Structures are given as C-alpha cells and as structure tokens.
Amino acid sequence: MVESKPVLRALVNGAGPTGALTAFALADAGWQVQISDPLPAAVLLERSRAYAFTHSSQRLLEQLGLWSAVQALLVPFRSLELLDLATQRQVPFCLADLGSRRAAAPAAAVGWVGQHRPLMTLLLERLGAHPAITLELGTPPPHAAAKQPPHDLIVAADGPHSPSREALGIGVLQWAYRQNCLTALVQLRGSADDQAWELLRPEGPFAVLPLGDGLFQLVWSAPAQRCRQLESLGDSAFLDALAGALPDQLQPDALLDDPRAFPVALLLARRLHRGHTVLVGESGHRCHPVGGQGLNLCWRDVATLHRLARRTAAGRLAVHRLPAAYARRRWPDLLLTLLATDLLVRFFSNRSPLLLPLRHLALLLLAKLAPLRQLSLSAMTDGPCQLLRR
Ligand SMILES: Cc1cc2nc3c(=O)[nH]c(=O)nc-3n(C[C@H](O)[C@H](O)[C@H](O)COP(=O)(O)OP(=O)(O)OC[C@H]3O[C@@H](n4cnc5c(N)ncnc54)[C@H](O)[C@@H]3O)c2cc1C
C-alpha cells in the first residue's frame, strides 16, 4: 500500500507585498496556506507608493509563474544614472553592466518600477483564486486560543511593528535615521522614460524612478524637519523646491499626488525564528531606501523560504528543521545589505572635506572600470552575497 504524504499547512500573518508572495511560494511548493490580514482589501490597496524591482525579485516572480502578469504592470529602466551632487561625478549604469547573458535577453532591463495599487490588486486577485490558498482579509488576527487547524509553519509577514514578533518576545536592534523619506509622483522633463536616477545629495539620497509617459516617482531622503516642511508646501512651492534639489537637466512640470514623508529606520530582529514561526520581510528587518533594496530584500526572504518549503514537501528536510534552516540562510544577505545601505548613506550624505576626495576617486574608478560597475550592479540587483559566490 502506498502511503500518502501528509499535507503541510502554513499560516501567513500579513497580506502586504511580502505576505502575499509568501503565500504563493508555499502553495507553489505544495503546501496548504491560510493568509490573513486585519486590513480589508480596499485599505491594503490604497497606499500611494512605487517600488523599484531588481533581478532577484524578477527571478522569484518567474519561479512562481507570476512574472508575465506582473511584468505587464511594470516600467523597465534600461539605464541608471548615479550622480553625486557634491562632487558632480556621474556614473551611468547600462544594460552592458548586467553581463552579456542578461543584456542579450529579450526585454532586458537594469530594473523595473511598479506602483503599489496595480501590483497588489493582481496579487490579491490571484490569492483569492488559488485553490491551495485561503485568503482572510479584514478579519481580526486569529487569537491564540481560537480553534485553529494545526499549522506546520507560521510566517510572520506582519510588517515592521510585527505583533507576531512581539508576542514571541523577539527583540530588535534598531535606530532611526535623522533622515526621513518623502515620496511624490511628478511629471518631469529631461529624462528618458527608461532612465532611473539615484542622486547622492548631501542631505540624503534621492531616487527618481520612471513610471512611463513622463511620470516619475520620487523617493527623496532629507532631514526629518525638511521633509515635514516639503510635505506642507503648496504645489508650486513644492515644485520650486524640487527644481532646486534636482540637477539642471531634470525639470519638474507638475505634482500629481500629495507628497508624504515617512520615518526611515534600520531594524534587525535578534532572531528570525522561534518554534515553528519564521519572520519574513519587514517583520525581521528594515533598511534605508537607498538603492531600492527594501522590498527586494524582503522578497529574497521569500525565495529562501520557497526553496526550503519545496525540500520539506519533497521529504528532504524535516518540517521542524525548516525555521532554523531559513534563519541560517538569511543572515548573510540581511547583514550585508543592511551594512551596505547604512555605509552608503553615511559616506554620501555629507560634504565632509575628508570624504570628498575619496568619493571622487571611488566614482571615477566606477565610471572608468566596467568590471567594477558590473560588480556593483550585481550586488545591487542580486544582493551583496552574490559577490562572495563569484
Ligand atoms: C509610508 C511608507 C512609504 C513607503 N514608500 C516606499 C517606496 O516608495 N518605495 C519602496 O520600495 N518602499 C517603500 N516603503 C517600504 C515598503 O512599503 C516596504 O518595504 C514593504 O511594504 C514591506 O512589505 P511587508 O509585506 O514586509 O510589510 P508591510 O507592507 O508593512 O505589510 C505588513 C502587513 O501585515 C499586516 N498586519 C499587521 N498586524 C497583523 C496581524 N496581527 N496579523 C496579520 N497581519 C497583520 C498589516 O496590515 C500589513 O498589511 C514605504 C514604507 C512606508 C511605511
């Protein structure tokens, strides 16, 4: 008689971008998944923000069979201009810096930009329709005492203030940056529609991300008080301030939403698992938005969980060993990415006369040496651990 394999069950707390993708990853690995969020769908969708996606995220979406649908919602950028405004040094990253294999792929891109609402609309629709996934939105989080089917794995994807992490008594290392981050949607002239910008300004990094048809998402880091002041300006005063912050070739024409400032912090949980719960996404870590690493780092957690969940479903990893195996594999990427983003912010957010010559030299070498650009782009798009594997 053939013994049937037991069904593996997971509960995912949180249906933000990380929780949603985790549910797909576990279902793809053959698990039965329950995903819940106290917020109703309308609230989950209403965030006005855009994300820059790297190749590590593209790979995961591809593995989960979601890439072609998601790609249709994204705007690719084929060049990334890195410009240090204190030294006036500019380094263009282009498709060739991805390496010949990726640069030759059809629809090759350095990265992609997508808005939150269409992305989450697609993910929530697909979650609702997936036969192995039960989606519960707008319901209070399952109470510990409530009768629950036993879960082999609980995934805390409930954001930076994670109630699951707190309930497990897992502490965090964290500090708030003096900088806040302001996001706004604007119409700009002077940049191609497939060109993204990372401006290194003494008050903080500033990303300009293309959304097509002359629209750009700004992710503008600056001291907290400056962000609050910018947030309170009327449209024309905001556009004047923006024109003063951008390099001369970029000219803002219109402000298309209300600029919103949010605090920026570095956060790292002291452990990534306890019992059969794992912390995934911003419940476990948070970093400065420089280089657009945040959500991509969260999705690399999901990619690791996906691989381990498949091994468990195939009987090659005992389910009780999965949480510790997940944590072991995630530490190097998390530590290196948090360290790299922190160092970048400290190195470039100033006009220190001691650092300016070093910055000059670093950017000169980056502009002149293609292999150095390839290494930097690989660290940015696949995570810094890729450099150790070369
Ligand atoms: C104001 C703001 C603006 C941002 N703008 C940008 C940007 O422009 N570009 C960018 O790349 N990144 C941006 N970020 C960061 C980006 O939003 C995060 O990287 C991303 O949302 C992390 O996804 P997540 O799913 O891990 O967490 P979250 O998106 O925080 O999702 C967590 C989910 O858990 C749910 N939850 C809470 N408690 C419970 C519970 N007890 N049980 C179950 N579920 C629960 C929450 O309702 C929420 O839906 C911004 C962040 C903020 C705060």
Give the end-to-end CA distance of the chain in Å, rounded to a whole number: 48
Q: Quick one: pLDDT at residue 105?
A: 79
Average pLDDT along the chain: 93
Residue 145: is its pLDDT beyond 50? no
Mean pLDDT over 197-226 rounds to 96
Ligand 1 binding residues, C-beta < 6 A = 13-19, 36-39, 44, 49-51, 141, 157-159, 163, 183, 219, 262, 281-282, 289, 292, 294-295, 298
CA–centroid distance, residue 261 to ligand 1 (Å): 15
Residue 233 and residue 242 in contact, taking contact as beta carbons nearer than 8 Å: no
Residues 208-222: what's their mean pLDDT? 96
Confidence at residue 148, expressed as pLDDT on a 0 to 100 scale: 61
**Which ligand 1 atom is the nearest neighbour of the CA of 36?**
43
- Are residues 24 and 66 in contact, defined by beta-carbon separation less than 8 angstroms? yes
Determine which residue's CA is closest to atom 30 belonging to ligand 1: 159
Any residues with CB less than 8 A from the CB of 335 and at least 6 apart, and which? 268
Average the pLDDT over 333-354 and give the result: 93
CA dihedral 160, 164, 167, 169 (to 10 degrees): -60
**Residue 189 to residue 73: CA distance in whole angstroms:** 23
CA of 121 to the centre of ligand 1 (A): 15
Q: What is the 3-state secondary structure (H, E, C) of the chain?
A: CCCCCCCCEEEEECCCHHHHHHHHHHHHCCCEEEEEECCCHHHHHCCCCEEEECHHHHHHHHHCCCHHHHHCCCEEECEEEEEECCCCEEEEEEHHHHCHHHHHCCCCCCEEEEEHHHHHHHHHHHHHHCCCEEEEECCCCCCCCCCCCCCCEEEECCCCCCHHHHHCCCCEEEEEEEEEEEEEEEEEECCCCCEEEEEEECCEEEEEEEEECCEEEEEEEEEHHHHHHHHHCCHHHHHHHHHHHCCCCCEEEEECCCCEEEEEEEEEECCCEECCEEECHHHCEECCCHHHCHHHHHHHHHHHHHHHHHHHHCCCCCHHHHHHHHHHHHHHHHHHHHHHHHHHHHHHCCCCCCCHHHHHHHHHHHHHCHHHHHHHHHHHHHCCHHHHHC
Residue 70, pLDDT above cutoff 90: yes
CA of 201 to the centre of ligand 1 (A): 26
pLDDT of 347-370, one tens digit each? 998 889 999 999 999 999 999 999
As a whole number of angstroms, the distance between CA 98 and CA 291 comes to 16
Nearest-CA residue for ligand 1 atom 19 is 295
Residue 166's Cβ-count burial label (10 Å; 0-12, 13-18, 19+) is middle
Cα angle 290, 41, 77 (rounded to 5 degrees) comes to 35
Residue 290 pLDDT > 60? yes
User: What distance in angstroms lies between residue 197's CA and the mean position of ligand 1's atoms?
Assistant: 24
353: Cβ–Cβ under 8 A, 6 or more apart, which residues?
A: none
- Between the CA of residue 233 and those of 50, 68, 226, 250, 260, what are the distances in Å? 22, 40, 11, 20, 11
Average pLDDT over residues 45-71: 95
Residue range 333-350: mean pLDDT, rounded: 94
| Structure tokens given for 111 | 């990265």
| Domains of the chain with CATH codes | 9-75+116-173+266-364 (3.50.50.60)
